[in-house]
Amino acid sequence: MVLNKPRLRTLGGAALLIALAVCGYWLLFTQFMVYDDEGYVLWSLRSYFAEGGLYSTVYSQYGPFLYALYDGLHRWTGLEFDNTTGRLLTLVYWLGTCALAAWFVWRQTRSALAAGGTAVLIFGTLLVMISEPIHPGGLLTLLAAIGAVGGAVAIERERHIAFSLLTGGIGAVMLLTKINVGAFFLIAAGSWLTIHCVQRHVARAGLWLTAVGSVLVPFALMQRLWPTPWVAIFALCFSCAALALLLLHRDQQRPLYGVTPWLGFVGAALLLAMTVLGLVWARGTSLSMLWFGVAVAPLQQPSAYAHAVVWPAVTPVLALGLALLAAFIHLRDWRWRPHVLAGLKLAAVGLLLSETPTAINNSLTFFALKYGLPFAWLMAVPLHRGARSPYLLARLWLAWVFVWQCLHAYPVAGSQVGWGACLAIPLAAAGATEALQFVAEQTGKWRDWFVRLGALIWVGGAALVLGVFGYVSHQRYTLGEPIGLHGAENLRLSDDITAGYRILDKNIRRHGDLLFSHPGMLSLNIWTERPTPTADNVTHWFSLLNAEQQQAIIERLDADPRAVVVAQSYLINYLVQKGYPPTGPLQKYLVRNFHAAFRINTFEFWIKNDRTIAPISIANITADNRLELVTAAIGTVATVEIRGLFYPYNRVAQFTPAPDGDWVMTPLNDDGTAAGESIRIEATGQLTGLNRMSLPIDPTQLPKRDLLEVVVLDPAGQKLDALLFDN
């Protein structure tokens, strides 16, 4: 078979997509965030599948489209939503966004290298996907990419009705997934239709109104935290970027859209919105609760929790400087315009590529927001004054969507930064390619060499990202051991985290019939198959649930004598330090009525004050220098080892029974009391249920206990149980 260029490009693209898929799979299955937004979304979905009643019975901060979509998928395919499913769906969103970005750059540049490099760099920018699988942010990222790239293609082909139908429909489902993100997209699309209206007076008024809105919207959005410095800088950067692009809108303004596209835009939005709302209404949500869940509750989010953007000192300077340059270029032309713009574009991309060596630390993610906003106009502006083409207009559309989507990072600038700002990468690739071609044309006989050098630098940066991501993810995946918990069987985490979650799983299953967590860590409920007190479940329940909802949880916990609570002390202390201390009636109830039975890592296992338990797979050193192990393992114990918790698992101490030794084994009841006579182990001991083993130890010979695990081995050296020390 002869491989022509199109075939080679197809094969190369497929190979790159497979490489990204493998790398993404390894990354997704070797990360689990302790704050567990993932579990919150999964548990609310499972509750909705079972009960319906979104917002009235099932608590959620997110819009109904997410629930209607996944409910349909669950019903049609029987797919169970757990940590594995969530990661696989997130991988689809991640790869889909990369493919769309690459397609946009290919259409803009006709360069396979530019498109392939874009796919890898946006993949690196979206590394945040691994932190919160199944979170609506992943789906919203793909939807924004569909709207931005699909809209760009419609603009290139002058399919005005297609543009309006697509953007109206995408905007509606985004609005009904997360209202602020959908509103940003609809503002971008609606203002675009108005600015490029066939009626000149409407277009002129739309341009001025959008300019005013570009200043007022960030202030209205951010008023609760105004005038915190990071918020003021955010508003400044957004407004400067939007106003600079509006000057470019004026230069590129065309009479494209009349009444019919507007009707298509509104009609598509209404049709999809009514369909989604109807599906959720049919599952038991009243119209009043839909209004509350979609529009009212999200407005309370900035007061519930916020996380600041750490802006570089140069960012506001760049934002103001490039906005002033945009105004200068708009007002007059001069001979060196293309040379200056080309140089600035290439310098900006060089700054972007300088972040590739540390992309595994999310440097590309934060670059996309902190520098992408100031550089948005620069990458969209044509080098030559008066240059017009559908492709330049399509690039302007992508830049316009990008700038508005950056507002997604307010008020919580975590994963939202990557989800909102990732479109900076294809925008930069298109702008840089244009600049590279211009500079190459100025170099005469060195033109081809210059182009090759530029392509080599771009591809080199992308290859560095893929190489580092591939190496790190492969190491993490191959060194990790599958955690083996229900719904997360193939998750491979660090040794201390794996050991801790396995021990929590054992104790919850043995000692709990009802599981609550503080803050909400709902993956534990999926893994242990233990119910929550009510269907009102969320991570920060102390700030997001009202007094009535908290009281219902109190009553359910109070009625179940085997209710248990898992508390995450690190997260609680973090919230206190950040000024968001847990308060409210449920917090007071938990503190007064529960106590910690044991502590491992930064987790505490709480039981009711009138109850005692035998903590499973927990080790202690008593005051009389004895190592006490509580285990529910079954088998013949021959050796106990204390090892380093991390690879290479160095042995710290080893103990074997001896006729003249002092090993004692006591069968236990679940409450920790003796279930029978203690026996002395002289050679091997038979474990048949819950037991406490006690043996002498010199604790002065041990390093820090949180770096150790205790392993119980049978005569063949096979592991019967792995224990951690109670903190």
What is the C-alpha separation between 143 and 181, in angstroms, rounded? Answer: 11
What is the C-alpha separation between 436 and 454, in angstroms, rounded? Answer: 7
Q: Is the pLDDT of residue 287 over 60?
A: yes
Looking at residue 2, its pLDDT comes to: 42
Task: Please give the average per-residue pLDDT across 116-126, as a whole number.
Answer: 97
Looking at residue 464, its pLDDT comes to: 95
Looking at the DSSP bridge assignments, the partners of residue 619 are: 629, 725
Kindly state the DSSP code that residue 209 receives in the 8-state scheme: H
Per-residue pLDDT tens for 361-388? 999 999 999 999 999 999 999 998 878 8
Looking at residue 604, its pLDDT comes to: 98
Tell me the C-alpha to C-alpha distance, in Å, between residue 415 and each of 125, 136, 137, 530.
10, 11, 8, 29
Q: What's the pLDDT band for 448 if we cut at 50, 70, 90?
A: confident
Q: How far apart are the first and last CA of the chain?
A: 66
Q: What's the pLDDT band for 428 if we cut at 50, 70, 90?
A: very high
Assign 330 to helix, strand or coil: helix
Assign 221 to helix, strand or coil: helix
Assign 535 to helix, strand or coil: coil
3-state SS of 566-606 is EEEHHHHHHHHHCCCCCCCHHHHHHHHHEEEEEEECCEEEE
What is the C-alpha separation between 567 and 583, in angstroms, rounded? Answer: 15
- The percent helix, strand, coil of the chain (3-state, each to 5) is 60, 15, 25
> Which ranges in 222-362 belong to alpha helices (H)?
229-252, 259-282, 287-291, 301-304, 314-331, 337-353
CA-closest candidate to residue 558, choices 612, 610, 596 = 610
Per-residue pLDDT tens for 322-343? 999 999 998 887 888 999 999 9
Mean pLDDT of the chain: 93
What is the C-alpha separation between 527 and 566, in angstroms, rounded? Answer: 13
CA-closest candidate to residue 703, choices 659, 658, 651, 656 = 651
Per-residue pLDDT tens for 10-58? 888 999 999 999 999 999 999 999 999 999 999 999 999 999 999 999 9
Q: Residue 506 — φ and ψ, nearest 5°?
A: -60, -45
What is the C-alpha separation between 657 and 715, in angstroms, rounded? Answer: 12
What is the C-alpha separation between 228 and 14, in angstroms, rounded? Answer: 47
Task: Please give the average per-residue pLDDT across 60-81, as a whole number.
Answer: 95
> Which ranges in 359-423 belong to alpha helices (H)?
363-370, 372-380, 390-405, 415-421
Q: Is the pLDDT of residue 188 over 90?
A: yes
Q: Which is it for strands 639-644 and 651-655: parallel, antiparallel or unpaired?
A: antiparallel
CA-closest candidate to residue 109, choices 432, 396, 379, 352 = 432
CA-closest candidate to residue 246, choices 215, 200, 201 = 215
Looking at residue 3, its pLDDT comes to: 46
Looking at residue 4, its pLDDT comes to: 59
Q: Residue 621 — φ and ψ, nearest 5°?
A: -115, 120
Question: Residue 157 is inside which H or E element, if any?
Answer: none
* Extents of the domains making up the chain: 61-473, 492-608, 618-725
Assign 355 to helix, strand or coil: coil
Looking at the DSSP bridge assignments, the partners of residue 627 are: 621, 695
CA-closest candidate to residue 394, choices 157, 135, 89 = 157
What is the C-alpha separation between 376 and 720, in angstroms, rounded? Answer: 59
Assign 476 to helix, strand or coil: helix
Q: Which is it for strands 663-667 and 514-518: parallel, antiparallel or unpaired?
A: unpaired
Q: What's the pLDDT band for 468 if we cut at 50, 70, 90?
A: very high
Question: Residue 1: CB partners within 8 Å, gap ≥ 6?
Answer: none
Question: Residue 483: CB partners within 8 Å, gap ≥ 6?
Answer: 489, 491, 492, 493, 498, 501, 502
Q: What's the pLDDT band for 298 if we cut at 50, 70, 90?
A: confident
Helices then strands (H, E): number in the chain?
A: 27, 17
